[in-house]
Amino acid sequence: MVFQSLETSRSYSKKDVSTHNTRKDCWIIIKDKVYDVTSYVEEHPGGDAILNNAGADSTEGFFGPQHGTRVFDIIEDFCIGELKD
C-alpha cells in the first residue's frame, strides 16, 4: 500500500496563495510548492525580507546568495502542498 503524504495531497492556485500575504498569515511559492511560513516570519534572519513575496512566488529570492545550504532542509518543514495550474 502506498501512502500519500499530506504535503503533496493538497494543491493551491496562485489566487489561493495570494490571500495569505501578511505577517500573521504568510504563504510563499518556491518551485511550484506552497509553503506556510507564518510561524517563521519573526525568526527569519533576514528580517522582513521574507515578506517581500508574501502570497506570491518567492523562488528567485529563496535561491539568492544570502541563503546557506541549511535553508533547503528547513523549508521542507513548512511545505503544505503544491501549486496547481
What is the chain's mean pLDDT, rounded? 88
- 22-38 b/e (C-beta count within 10 Å ≥ 16 → b): eeeebbbbbeebbbbbb
Q: Could you tell me the pLDDT band of residue 42, with boundaries at 50, 70 and 90?
A: very high
Provide the whole-model pTM. Answer: 0.85
Asked whether the predicted pLDDT for residue 19 surpasses 50, the reply is yes
CATH code of the domain occupying 6-83:
3.10.120.10
Asked whether the predicted pLDDT for residue 2 surpasses 70, the reply is no
pLDDT reported for residue 64:
79
Domain ranges of the chain: 6-83
Place of cell 529570492: 61
